[in-house]
Amino acid sequence: HTLFMLCHRCSKNNILLSWLEEYALLVSAVCHDIGHLGVTNDYLVQTSSELAICYNDTSPLENMHCARLFEIVTAENSAIFSMLSKAQYKEARNICIEAILH
């Protein structure tokens, strides 16, 4: 819902997003909590979880969500970015990372 409102308000105010930005934001919105463990980042850090250690206590859940997203979308049977050029893929990846981590 939030993404829809953002896109709607952008178009209403003549702030145009490219198709690639919209696509990457939609993918990010769908996947932003993929594999969520049902605990907080603070809990993971306080318990010295494997994820907290892997991501140096910095947003372990968000980093995991992002990594999991790209594990899935780079698999042959779910390569939803395969139609993109290398430059487009890099831009889409950066958008997804920014959207999920921030």
pLDDT at 17: 84
42 belongs to an annotated ligand binding site:
no
Instruction: Tell me what pLDDT residue 98 has.
Output: 94
**pTM to 2 decimals?**
0.85
28-71 pLDDT per residue, tens: 999 999 999 999 999 999 999 999 999 999 999 999 999 999 99
- 32 marked as binding residue: yes
- Type of residue at 94: N
What are the residue boundaries of the structural domains of the chain, listed by start? 18-35+61-101
The winner for highest mean pLDDT among 12-26, 39-53, 71-85 is: 39-53
